[in-house]
Amino acid sequence: MNGRQANVPRSGWEASLILEANGMMTWKEVKGMNVGAQRNGTWELDGTVFRMRYRAPGVGLVEWTAQNPGTKNMSGSYRTPDVDPDGVGWGGDWNASKV
């Protein structure tokens, strides 16, 4: 999948995303300020909710969710709950499409 993060001022990064059948995931930034940055984590599909989680340096836990994900397209929200006491931190919307 290719993904695009949205609603973060001055961001516009893009990443390649690999979701493995065993629940592991890897994404690597291909466009943006940290080209080559890579994160590894987990993903799950619980009913109609897709969820991806990983830990980022200096940020902590990052969670991406999508309601009713499709086989070719997904979109949802992301949050960084370790960044502030309210559990929201930086966040926004995202979308991805299978290539």
Tens digits of residue pLDDT in 5-59 = 665 656 677 888 888 889 999 988 888 888 999 999 999 998 889 999 999 888 8
User: Pseudo-torsion of CA 21, 98, 41, 84, nearest 10°?
Assistant: -140
Q: What is the pLDDT of residues 52-98, one digit of tens each?
A: 999 988 888 989 899 888 888 888 888 888 887 666 677 788 887 77
Neighbours of 64 (CB within 10 A): 24
Whole-structure pTM value: 0.77
What residue numbers bound the domain in which 82 lies?
2-97
- Total domains present in the chain: 1
d(CA 86, CA 42): 23
- Show Cβ contacts of residue 11 under 8 Å, excluding neighbours closer than 6 positions: 5, 32
